[in-house]
């Protein structure tokens, strides 16, 4: 199956039985940092942090030399520099990352049309149909590693397995710059010794609940009575975790991906305690989310609020609507209601809105349309913006520039999606 190479990686050396392992998970190594090193070769071998020193920037990526000091993604840059004061901080260049991402994904598509891109730097591939022309799955994985390095100068890690879940686990074990094949017959031997925190869906709180049951490894989760597991993580969570722990993952590689959520958030330069200021920011964010929903032809059934206090404690709250919507005013009202439920208000560092449980417009008849008037108004605003630009119209309350500024907003799906 693979061996520990002495550097903390588990990799395949020589041949392995990949006859029933058509799924590849390919993950670029420290992608953003590695792209920056292409034009800054003098920084190779040094601890490098991608982020900004100013304001409240967080670590976007870091080289493995920096990670050895405990530096990790989403960590405040100020904390990262306390852990690794000798680190070099490089500002992010998202245009370069997008360029190299498209090059890598093009190489994947040269091998198979069955590519499921998970993020800017990772994807699942089903190479079942490529065997006749390109060889076995492990040979295809090795081929892609060589082509990526030759054509881009970047390295990646590859997991080869019978299922998506195990392939992703394998690529993680092979990092950095390695390949690990997990034969179908060895799936449980690979999974069961691993700590429970490596299992999909096990965050810090879930891990704590499982450890209270005396569970330490994935094998423990596979063997524990389902009733005990339900008491810790609920019915749905227990069934999902035990299936994965037993190596059961029937999902196929999906070439079309529906967004699970659409969100926007903003990090403030200075902590905010003024509820009116927060309401205005929520209106701004709700408007952005609603525009993206309408552009994609989606409506959202659930509205989520994310708040991070000044001490970095982060809370998420959500509410499911009786009728799905893409109206910014409705998103704003629901988010403000969720915010009011968090009183007493503490100093706020970050706030965000998330639209979840997305469905195509018209997917199910409305019993009533409580947002009809606002929907017509916002559709009219969309038409004006398309003709004259996105800044042509905005809610009146947003025309008054709020004091204090913001270091953002950061756009896109929330990190926990």
* pLDDT digit string, tens, across residues 161-219: 999 999 999 999 999 999 999 999 999 999 999 999 999 878 787 899 899 999 999 99
Is 334 annotated as catalytic? no
Report how far residue 142's alpha carbon sits from residue 158's, in angstroms, rounded to the nearest whole number: 8
* Per-residue confidence band for 382, with pLDDT thresholds at 50, 70 and 90: low
Decide: 281 and 349 in contact? Cβ < 8 Å.
no
CATH number of 261-411: 3.30.1490.100
* Per-residue confidence band for 259, with pLDDT thresholds at 50, 70 and 90: low
Report how far residue 293's alpha carbon sits from residue 283's, in angstroms, rounded to the nearest whole number: 15
Only one residue has tokens 């004091």, namely 403
Choice between 58 and 382, residue whose per-residue pLDDT is larger? 58
Q: Which of 157, 163, 156 lies closest to 23 in space, CA to CA?
A: 163
Q: What phi, psi does 84 have (nearest 5°)?
A: -140, 75
Decide: 34 and 97 in contact? Cβ < 8 Å.
no
Given a cut of 70, is residue 267 above it in pLDDT?
A: yes
27 is in an annotated binding site: yes
Q: Which listed CATH number (3.30.70.270, 3.30.10.20, 3.40.50.1820, 3.40.50.720) goes with 1-184?
A: 3.30.70.270
Report the Cα–Cα distance between both ends of the chain, in Å, rounded.
32
- Marked catalytic residue, from 65, 116, 122, 334: 122
Question: Which is it for strands 179-181 and 261-272: parallel, antiparallel or unpaired?
Answer: unpaired
Measured CA distances, 217 to 176, 221, 295 (Å): 23, 7, 45
Count the neighbouring beta carbons within 10 Å of the beta carbon of residue 292: 18
CA angle 256, 261, 266 (to 5 degrees): 135
State what percent of residues in the chain have pLDDT above 70: 83
| Most confident option among 25-39, 248-262, 323-337, 399-413 | 25-39
29 is in an annotated binding site: no
Instruction: Quote the pLDDT of residue 362.
Output: 59
Sorted by where each begins, the domain ranges of the chain are 1-184, 192-245, 261-411
Given a cut of 60, is residue 385 above it in pLDDT?
A: no
Instruction: Quote the pLDDT of residue 379.
Output: 55
Cβ within 8 Å of residue 234, ≥6 positions away: none
Strand-pair partners of 308: 314, 350
CATH superfamily assigned to domain 192-245: 5' to 3' exonuclease, C-terminal subdomain (1.10.150.20)
């Amino acid at each position: 199956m693979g061996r520990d190479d002495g550097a903390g990686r588990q990799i395949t050396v020589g041949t392995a039985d990949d006859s029933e392992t058509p799924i590849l998970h390919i993950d670029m190594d420290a992608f953003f940092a590695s792209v920056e090193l292409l034009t800054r070769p003098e920084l190779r071998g040094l601890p490098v942090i991608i982020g900004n020193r100013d304001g409240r920037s967080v670590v976007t990526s870091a080289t493995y030399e920096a990670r050895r000091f405990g530096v990790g993604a989403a960590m405040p840059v100020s904390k990262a520099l306390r852990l690794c004061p000798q680190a070099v901080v490089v500002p992010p260049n998202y245009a370069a990352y997008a360029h190299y991402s498209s090059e890598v994904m093009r190489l994947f598509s040269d091998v198979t049309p069955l590519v499921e891109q998970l993020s800017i730097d990772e994807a699942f591939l089903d190479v079942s149909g490529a065997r006749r022309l390109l060889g076995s799955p492990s040979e295809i994985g090795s081929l892609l590693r060589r082509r990526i390095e030759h054509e881009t100068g970047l390295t990646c890690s590859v997991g080869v397995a019978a299922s998506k879940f195990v392939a992703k686990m394998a690529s993680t074990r092979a990092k950095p710059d390695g390949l690990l094949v997990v034969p179908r017959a060895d799936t449980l031997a690979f999974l069961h010794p691993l700590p429970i925190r490596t299992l999909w869906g096990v965050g810090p709180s879930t891990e704590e609940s499982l450890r209270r049951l005396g569970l330490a490894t994935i094998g423990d989760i596979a063997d524990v009575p389902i009733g005990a597991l339900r008491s810790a993580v609920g019915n749905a969570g227990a069934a999902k975790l035990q299936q994965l722990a037993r190596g059961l993952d029937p999902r196929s590689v999906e070439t079309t991906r529906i967004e699970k959520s659409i969100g926007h958030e903003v990090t403030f330069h200075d902590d905010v305690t003024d509820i009116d200021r927060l309401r205005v920011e929520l209106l701004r964010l709700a408007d952005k989310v609603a525009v993206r929903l309408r552009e994609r032809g989606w409506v959202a059934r659930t509205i989520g609020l994310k708040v991070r206090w000044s001490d970095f404690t982060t809370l998420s709250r959500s509410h499911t609507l009786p009728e799905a919507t893409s109206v910014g005013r409705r998103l704003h009202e629901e988010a403000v209601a969720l915010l009011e439920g968090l009183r007493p208000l503490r100093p706020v560092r970050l706030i965000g809105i998330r639209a979840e449980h997305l469905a195509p417009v018209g997917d199910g008849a409305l019993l009533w349309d409580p947002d009809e008037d606002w929907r017509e108004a916002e559709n009219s605003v969309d038409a004006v913006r398309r003709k004259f630009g996105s800044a042509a119209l905005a809610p009146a309350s947003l025309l008054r520039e709020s004091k204090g500024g913001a270091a953002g907003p950061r756009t896109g799906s929330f990190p926990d999606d």
